[in-house]
Amino acid sequence: MNAAIADVLIPLALDTAYSYAVPAGLDLAEGDVVQIPLGPRETVGVVWGLRDGAAGSNLRKVTARIADEGMAPPLRRLVDWIARYTLAPKGSALAMALRLPEDGPRTETAKVGVRATGAAPSRITAARSKVVAVAADGAVRGKRALALESGVSAGVIDGLIDDGVLETVTLAPERVAEPPDPDHPHPPLSGPQRTAAEALIATLTAPPAGGGPAGEGGVTLLEGVTGSGKTEIYFEAVAEAVRRGVQSLVLMPEIALTAQFLDRFTARFGARPAAWHSGIGGRRRERIRAGVLAGEIPVVVGARSALFLPFRHLGLVVVDEEHEAAYKQDDGVCYHARDMAVVRGKLENAAVVLASATPSIETRVNAARGRYRRVVLPERFGGRRLPEIRAIDMRREAIPRGRYLSPTLTAAVAETNARGEQALLFLNRRGYAPLTLCRACGHRYQCPNCSTWLVEHRFRRALVCHHCGHAERRPDACAECGTVDSLTACGPGVERIAEEVAATFPDKRVIVLSSDFPGGAERLRAELQTVAEGGCDIVVGTQLVAKGHNFPLLTLVGVLDADIGLASGDPRAAERTFQLLQQVTGRAGRGEKPGRALVQTYQPEHPVIAALISGDAERFYEEETAAREVAGLPPFGRLAALIVSAAEREAAEAHGQALARVAEPPPGVMVLGPAEAPLALVRGRHRFRLLVKAEREIDIQSYLRDWIARGPKPRGNVRVAIDVDPQSF
Ligand code: ADP
Ligand code: ZN
């Protein structure tokens, strides 16, 4: 007998499924995608449960089943899991798995999208600055997708196209990819690589084609120094998964998902993988979803949202650069893609590989506790040496004001270029200068919506907020005292370093790589190609160049300001800085010739810098881990942040205090705050933070749930956002 009532989860910010009557003759199963009435309109939902019972006449009826294939149990469990873990409404978690095509219908022959040209708008409004902020990454997006993402009307986009700030681009439709060939000819692995690859293959749960025992899945940390050939190693596991007829998902931070990586995949497998990221348009997205669901696409290489693709038989999940903070983001649901990849792997009984040269402390601790296997490659591929790293003590260097390259680094760049080799100068700061101030009155240009300084961008001729995207023209006269030509740029950004490099090395070919530069992915691809082929002498770049890329002629890495990340009060700052500096210095000497790295610092004795120079990563990790354990910080304890925000400071603070009054933490739980959040004002909203620290054994989610339920309901424009496992604390 057919069930009478269907509990349907709707992809909106709702925590519970709604009940509908199942009309006679409609045979529904759990996971079915259905059309249902909701208020005055019809919408889409997924059958989360079915039950018998007197179908009360007051229940509205399911309209129809709308897809041949429902959502498989593991994906439904993932939605449940994420909602429970992050405390997001279940419907919001479902929305990530259902995400319908972002763009409307379009022609078969060509796809039209828009992207930023880099030109500054002639007139700036709140709506326009939102679009500029979203488009700043240079990605191509559908017009509607861009309007939706920016929260503006399509008219704003059209206005910006007319203004020359956005341009339309036509892309040829992507051809349907041929399947990757696991046995496509490729260079053989080295001995240690082979051993590592076999260790990964041994975990695959799908039985080998020729018979033999299957592995038991679980998580494996693949830890190898930069240049050890981790990619080639996990490619072997992917190849074996393809042979065994199961699907693989390779997750990468969006920024690392470059054409260069896809080319590498193509070289190994003789075909391009299905790529999934925010720049992929609606029709293509639908095709990939359908192919993954049908089991016809064996390998997806994707950004974090690829986690929610409806794989038919997922056998392997690889998380590359697993330590990347970019894996944790708020997409309506605030989740860490690496952690959710581990969950999905478990639910699908798939093997999971976490790859990194600098694993997160969480993952290392999991490996040390025996929860994850650990495969280590201490050496670079082909006997190449790791770069020699030296500190340049900036207290001893004579540098004129407004200049940032020390004489030592300048000489090293010149020597390197003289040998016909390339140098990379790294500064993890976009724009020209992080602060603009008036010499006459001391006025500093601050964002009107956020508690941050405006960053000067010379290419865009604007002062820009990196948090909300607010952009304004850099004025000729001080806005405060009216003095003309009194504004000074303070501190360096990559654009300023590029200017200094051009002045110091006028006959050298310099390329600047930063996410701000116009032209988007295609231009970036061309520039990376130029660097890889030796068509440039000096690269100046932000963290965009820190990872993933292979530049065979690059033998010198100069870090301009190693201290940038260390100043913040965030306990993760040391780990982050260490990882970033390891990654970027690891760009040197990946080709035939040995490399070196020079690190400009004012505190060479700082433990992070000292560990980097000595190459003693193990000791650094041990000390950091011990410090975390003593402080009861993750992964030794649990942490969550509640951010209370409102347009008025008082309202945010009052709600935070009201919550704190009813916190009633049980033994083992501590509630701190409310205190002003590290960024006290963002997009015009004042923010207060409550921190919850709990011992490991405590179910912090149930505590949070009870507490929030006890607390006052936020009124007016007050909002409470929950961040379980915040990345900065
Ligand atoms: P990692 O990701 O560990 O930093 P990569 O996978 O990028 O290292 O490999 C470093 C370099 O060595 C790349 O240029 C890669 O093409 C090369 N390489 C790695 N393994 C092999 C191999 N077995 N044969 C030939 N080249 C290899
Ligand atoms: Zn701002």
pLDDT, position 412: 98
Q: Beta 373-377 vs 455-457: how paired, if at all?
A: unpaired
Token pair for residue 199? Answer: 């260790």
Q: Find the 454 Cα to ligand 2 centroid distance in Å.
A: 8
By alpha-carbon position, which residue is closest to atom 15 of ligand 1?
Answer: 229
To the question of whether residue 468 is assigned a binding role by annotation, the answer is yes
Half-sphere exposure of 338 (CA within 13 A, CB side): 25
Helices 154-162, 126-135: inter-axial angle, 10-degree rounding: 80
Q: 3-state class of 286 per DSSP?
A: helix
Residue 397 contacts residue 407 (beta carbons within 8 Å): yes
**Interior angle at CA 20, CA 19 and CA 25, nearest 5:** 145
Q: Which ligand is nearest to the CA of 471?
A: 2
To the question of whether residue 334 is assigned a binding role by annotation, the answer is no
Tell me the best of 193, 226, 381 to mutate to test the pocket of ligand 1, counting ligand atoms within 8 Å of each CB and taking the most.
381
Beta bridge partners of 596: 388, 556
**Interior angle at CA 118, CA 112 and CA 124, nearest 5:** 100
DSSP secondary structure code for residue 715 in this structure? -
pLDDT, position 384: 87
Residue 147 contacts residue 123 (beta carbons within 8 Å): no
Give Cβ neighbours of residue 415 (< 8 Å, ≥ 6 apart). Answer: none
- Calpha distance 11→26 (Å, rounded): 22
- The dihedral through the CA atoms of 33, 177, 185, 529 has a sign that is negative
| Residues 316, 321, 322, 323, Cα dihedral to 10° | 180
What residue has token string 């709990």? Answer: 694
Q: Which ligand is nearest to the CA of 472?
A: 2
By alpha-carbon position, which residue is closest to atom 12 of ligand 1?
Answer: 229
Beta bridge partners of 45: 34
Q: Find the 376 Cα to ligand 2 centroid distance in Å.
A: 43
Of 489, 472, 512, nearest in space to 402 by CA: 489
Q: Find the 683 Cα to ligand 2 centroid distance in Å.
A: 5
By alpha-carbon position, which residue is closest to atom 2 of ligand 1?
Answer: 230
By alpha-carbon position, which residue is closest to atom 20 of ligand 1?
Answer: 229
* Closest atom, ligand 1, to C-alpha of 187: 24
* Closest atom, ligand 1, to C-alpha of 377: 3
Q: Which ligand is nearest to the CA of 546?
A: 1
To the question of whether residue 490 is assigned a binding role by annotation, the answer is no
Helices 617-631, 607-614: inter-axial angle, 10-degree rounding: 150
156 to 121, 124, 194, 448: CA distances (angstroms)? 12, 11, 55, 21
Q: Which ligand is nearest to the CA of 227?
A: 1
**DSSP per residue, 442-464:** --B-B-SSSSSBPEEETTTTEEE
Residue 498 contacts residue 510 (beta carbons within 8 Å): yes
Of 547, 532, 616, nearest in space to 581 by CA: 547
pLDDT, position 108: 33
Token pair for residue 68? Answer: 């041949």
pLDDT, position 261: 85
What ipTM did this prediction achieve?
Answer: 0.96
Give Cβ neighbours of residue 304 (< 8 Å, ≥ 6 apart). Answer: 251, 254, 327, 329, 331, 337
> How far does CA 363 lie from the centroid of its chain?
17
pLDDT, position 250: 97
Residue 313 contacts residue 246 (beta carbons within 8 Å): yes
Token pair for residue 125? Answer: 């409004």
By alpha-carbon position, which residue is closest to atom 10 of ligand 1?
Answer: 227
By alpha-carbon position, which residue is closest to atom 16 of ligand 1?
Answer: 229
Helices H / strands E in the chain, number of each: 19, 31
Q: Find the 473 Cα to ligand 2 centroid distance in Å.
A: 14
By alpha-carbon position, which residue is closest to atom 17 of ligand 1?
Answer: 229
* Closest atom, ligand 1, to C-alpha of 190: 23
Give Cβ neighbours of residue 325 (< 8 Å, ≥ 6 apart). Answer: 576, 727
Q: Find the 382 Cα to ligand 1 centroid distance in Å.
A: 9
- The dihedral through the CA atoms of 405, 406, 410, 413 has a sign that is negative
- Calpha distance 95→610 (Å, rounded): 46
255 to 137, 333, 389, 440: CA distances (angstroms)? 10, 20, 26, 41
Half-sphere exposure of 176 (CA within 13 A, CB side): 9
To the question of whether residue 465 is assigned a binding role by annotation, the answer is yes
Q: 3-state class of 527 per DSSP?
A: helix
pTM of this prediction exceeds 0.90: no
Q: Find the 229 Cα to ligand 1 centroid distance in Å.
A: 4
Q: Find the 5 Cα to ligand 2 centroid distance in Å.
A: 49
Q: Beta 685-695 vs 669-682: how paired, if at all?
A: antiparallel
- Calpha distance 594→591 (Å, rounded): 8
Tell me the best of 184, 221, 228, 231 to mutate to test the pocket of ligand 1, counting ligand atoms within 8 Å of each CB and taking the most.
231
Of 269, 350, 349, 356, nearest in space to 316 by CA: 350
Q: Find the 469 Cα to ligand 2 centroid distance in Å.
A: 6
Cis check for the bond before 678: say yes or no (omega within 30 of 0). no
Q: Which ligand is nearest to the CA of 465?
A: 2
Helices 73-86, 337-348: inter-axial angle, 10-degree rounding: 140
Residues with CB under 6 A from ligand 1: 187, 189-190, 193, 224, 226-232, 381, 550, 590
- Calpha distance 694→667 (Å, rounded): 9
* Closest atom, ligand 1, to C-alpha of 552: 14
Q: Is 126 exposed, middle or buried (0-12, 13-18, 19+ CB in 10 A)?
A: middle
DSSP secondary structure code for residue 121 in this structure? P
**DSSP per residue, 383-442:** GPPPPEEEEEEGGG----TT----HHHHHHHHHHHHTT-EEEEE-S--SSBSEEEETTT-
Tell me the best of 222, 232, 250, 551 to mutate to test the pocket of ligand 1, counting ligand atoms within 8 Å of each CB and taking the most.
232
- Calpha distance 560→545 (Å, rounded): 14
Residue 90 contacts residue 15 (beta carbons within 8 Å): yes
Residue 209 contacts residue 243 (beta carbons within 8 Å): yes
pLDDT, position 67: 79
N- to C-terminal Cα distance for the chain?
Answer: 54
- Calpha distance 63→67 (Å, rounded): 13
Token pair for residue 226? Answer: 């930069």
pLDDT, position 271: 93
Q: Find the 403 Cα to ligand 2 centroid distance in Å.
A: 28
Low-confidence ranges of the chain (pLDDT < 70): 1-2, 55-57, 100-112, 170-177, 255-256, 518-521, 547-548, 729
pLDDT, position 685: 94
pLDDT, position 487: 93
Q: Find the 92 Cα to ligand 2 centroid distance in Å.
A: 27
Region of 422 (left: φ > 0; alpha: ψ -120 to 50; beta: rest) is beta
What is the identity of the amino acid at 226? T
Q: Find the 194 Cα to ligand 1 centroid distance in Å.
A: 13
Q: Which ligand is nearest to the CA of 452?
A: 2
Beta bridge partners of 447: none
pLDDT, position 360: 95
* Closest atom, ligand 1, to C-alpha of 193: 23
Q: Find the 297 Cα to ligand 1 centroid distance in Å.
A: 26
Q: Which ligand is nearest to the CA of 684?
A: 2
